Amino acid sequence: MSGRIDRRQDFPLLVGPEGAELTYLDSAATAQKPEVVLAALAHYYRYDNANVYRGVYSLAARATAAFEAAREKVARFIHADPDEVVFTRGTTESINMVAWAWARAELKPGDEILTSEAEHHSNLVPWQEAARATGAELRFVPLSEDKTVSVDSVLGAISQRTRIVALAQVSNVLGNLPLEVARISEAAHRVGAVVLIDGAQSVPHLPIDVHAMDADFVAFSGHKMMGPTGIGVLYGKRQILAAMAPFHFGGEMISHVDPEVSTYKDAPQKFEGGTPPIAQAIGLGVACDYLSGLDMAQVMAHDRRLGELAASRLREVPGVHVYGPRGDRMGVVSFNLDGVHAHDVATALDQQGICVRAGHHCCQPLMRQLGVAATARASFYAYNTEQDVDKLTAGVLSTMEFFHHVAR
Amino acid sequence: MSLADLYREIILEHARHPQHKGPLDGPVTLQAGLDNPTCGDEVVVQVRLGPGGLVEAAKFDGVGCSISMAAASIMSEMLVGRTLAQVKELTESYTAMVSGQKAPTDDLQDLVAFAGVAQFPMRVKCAALPFHALQKGISRYEGGI
Ligand SMILES: Cc1ncc(COP(=O)(O)O)c(C=O)c1O
Ligand SMILES: [Zn+2]
């Protein structure tokens, strides 16, 4: 594991007089964008802008080709086939699409939806609603002592009644090493269940091979992997997407429309009703190529190294609590300072140019499991360096000093 | 803007040792709870009116950052002895100050310490939370709910 990447200069927001002072440690919320992505967005609007599929003129053909080329880039990035890549607005919409179009058709009373209390609200609330609508039951994988999900506990919780297993591969609070999805898929498929992976925090940070994972669905967001906002992906296995009904009905997704009844295109288009986010998809395609150029194994090693370094440095500070696994981890580090609320920590760090998130991170049940109302969270990506970890540690020390000195 | 402009000593003092915290014993005339869903601050305010319509007792409970907890503590101290009309006036004056619409005025007394919040837009909600809960309680009471 070498994983030493230093690409800050590729990110316009992080260079220049103001940006150079910034220590951006909130990539788990959204990532900064490299120049190549910004340039691709501008290029599309300047030279290729037209609606996709509909036009006969060559400009429209160019836009359509660029849009479909983006789908191919994304497919290559996750080792899927292009017709298994559905463009959505993001992880939340991708999961909702499954919770509506798949779950409401497939689940019935007595069935079980298996998830965990460590999930982002986006991978919990849609299942609560699907359970309510179908009479299926929500089940939660017992969490380990550090509140992470382990494959063994997932395997133990899968029953003959399980119809879907919906879990994040990497938690946006705990920064656990990625779940070995293939083992979960094997056990789930044995009882006839499908597997949905919330890849919001994994797809941006490690090599992903959806076919090797053998997951039925993988959801992720473009904006967390250096792409634009407003674009995300639902990967679905070909035969499952073929059997699944559309979710958004309207233009672009139809094949033939009569006044009373219509027929629909094949996947993935049948799931993409309306004008899609064309520029955003193209931007995401470029982000995938940029990340592949860095080599995802190196990106993962880099993020891990910074995450592990930050966690161990912070653990050395008396009065600092670090959540999540001890030792090996990804580049997401949640922590609290004794006697100082996470909001106050975030404001104090912001005064030093350090951007961390504070709050419940859309994981209220997990906060309850951790026994806290909120945490601060630092998260790392390819533009961060060891210096950023140094700044964070120094910032936390001076925050501690400020609050404990003044309050004495 | 330095950190000390936001976190005045009196704020840290009240955050550490909150006054009027816990449930109100005896009759409660009006109460309301409110939370800040983006960050998880939660506060409940309880008020008892006594003879002449004056606030006889006020307490708060909740969890949150030092700004929201100190604001709740100082607010509860200042309510006692005021009429509801005066309480509403105080609330308006304070929320205008923390949101940067008005300079601090003497009527705000210890609450003047929160003037620096206006320079920290992400923290205005924290400072205003207990007063917004109070406003909610008052309008429910006046609306007969
Ligand atoms: C684990 C996880 N799941 C889902 C989401 C939701 O992603 P989005 O808001 O892009 O739909 C996030 C983003 O915060 C996340 O971290
Ligand atoms: Zn707050």
State the count of interchain CB pairs (< 8 A) between A and B. Answer: 53
- What's the rounded mean pLDDT across residues A277-298? 98
Verify whether ligand 1 is closer than 6 Å to residue A170 (CB atom). no
Task: Examine the pLDDT at A407 and tell me if it is beyond 70.
Answer: no
| Chain A residues within 8 A of B64 when measuring between CB atoms | 341, 343, 373
> Which residue intervals of B17-123 are DSSP H helices?
66-79, 84-98
User: In this predicted structure, what is the pLDDT of residue A1?
Assistant: 52
Which CATH topology does A37-293 take? Aspartate Aminotransferase; domain 2 (3.40.640)
User: In this predicted structure, what is the pLDDT of residue A408?
Assistant: 43
Any idea which ligand is nearest the CA of A205? Answer: 1
Any idea which ligand is nearest the CA of A197? Answer: 1
- What's the rounded mean pLDDT across residues A349-364? 94
Verify whether ligand 1 is closer than 6 Å to residue A363 (CB atom). no
Specify the range with the lowest mean pLDDT, choosing from A151-155, A340-344, B33-37.
Answer: B33-37
- C-alpha distances (whole Å) from A51 to each of A61, A63, A66, A163, B9 are 9, 7, 11, 39, 59
Beta bridge partners of A297: none
Whole-number Å distance between alpha carbons of A34 and A12: 7
Whole-number Å distance between alpha carbons of A348 and B114: 16
Q: Are A285 and A233 contacting, i.e. CB atoms less than 8 angstroms apart? A: no
Q: Render pLDDT for A92-107 as a digit per residue (tens, 0 to 9).
A: 999 999 999 999 999 9
Best residue for ligand 1 mutational test, from A91, A167, A202 (most atoms within 8 Å of Cβ)? A91
- The reply to whether residue A367 touches residue B39, judged by beta carbons under 8 angstroms, is no
Active-site residue, A362 included: yes
Task: Examine the pLDDT at A374 and tell me if it is beyond 70.
Answer: yes
Architecture of domain A8-31+296-407: Alpha-Beta Complex (3.90)
Same fold, A8-31+296-407 and A37-293: no
- The confidence band for A25, taking pLDDT boundaries of 50, 70 and 90, is very high
Q: Are A332 and A170 contacting, i.e. CB atoms less than 8 angstroms apart? A: yes
- Using the Cβ of B4 and the Cβ atoms of chain A, whether some distance falls under 8 Å is answered with yes
pTM: 0.94
> What does pLDDT average to over chain A?
96
Tokens encoding B111: 């609450």
| Among chain A residues, CA nearest to B67 | A344
Q: Render pLDDT for A116-148 as a digit per residue (tens, 0 to 9).
A: 999 999 999 999 999 999 999 999 999 999 999
Residues of chain A with pLDDT > 70: what percent?
99
Q: Which amino acid is at B115?
A: A
Q: Render pLDDT for A63-75 as a digit per residue (tens, 0 to 9).
A: 999 999 999 999 9
| CATH class given for the domain over B3-142 | alpha beta
User: In this predicted structure, what is the pLDDT of residue A405?
Assistant: 73
User: In this predicted structure, what is the pLDDT of residue B36?
Assistant: 86
Cis check for the bond before A268: say yes or no (omega within 30 of 0): yes
Task: Examine the pLDDT at A265 and tell me if it is beyond 50.
Answer: yes
- Using the Cβ of A403 and the Cβ atoms of chain B, whether some distance falls under 8 Å is answered with yes
Verify whether ligand 1 is closer than 6 Å to residue A89 (CB atom). no
CA of A359 to the centre of ligand 2 (A): 9
- The confidence band for A2, taking pLDDT boundaries of 50, 70 and 90, is low
Give the SS3 label for residue A109: coil
Task: Examine the pLDDT at A54 and tell me if it is beyond 90.
Answer: no
Whole-number Å distance between alpha carbons of B3 and A4: 34
Q: Render pLDDT for A390-406 as a digit per residue (tens, 0 to 9).
A: 999 999 999 999 998 75
Domain boundaries defined on chain A: 8-31+296-407, 37-293
Task: Examine the pLDDT at A20 and tell me if it is beyond 50.
Answer: yes
Count Cβ atoms within 10 A of the Cβ of residue A63 and give its class: 0-12 exposed, 13-18 middle, 19 or more buried. buried
- The confidence band for B40, taking pLDDT boundaries of 50, 70 and 90, is confident
Listed residue (A323, A360, A321) closest to A29, CA to CA: A360
**Sign (positive or negative) of CA dihedral A51, A55, A60, A61:** positive
Task: Examine the pLDDT at B112 and tell me if it is beyond 90.
Answer: yes
Verify whether ligand 1 is closer than 6 Å to residue A198 (CB atom). yes
- Using the Cβ of B34 and the Cβ atoms of chain A, whether some distance falls under 8 Å is answered with no
Chain A contacts in chain B segment 77-116 (CB below 8 A):
none
Best residue for ligand 1 mutational test, from A30, A92, A148 (most atoms within 8 Å of Cβ)? A92
| Among chain B residues, CA nearest to A398 | B3
Listed residue (B120, B131, B139) closest to B34, CA to CA: B131
What is the complex's ipTM, to 2 decimals? 0.90
Q: Given A344, A358, A367, which is nearest B66 (Cβ)? A: A344
- C-alpha distances (whole Å) from A372 to each of A335, A363, B47, B66 are 10, 11, 28, 15
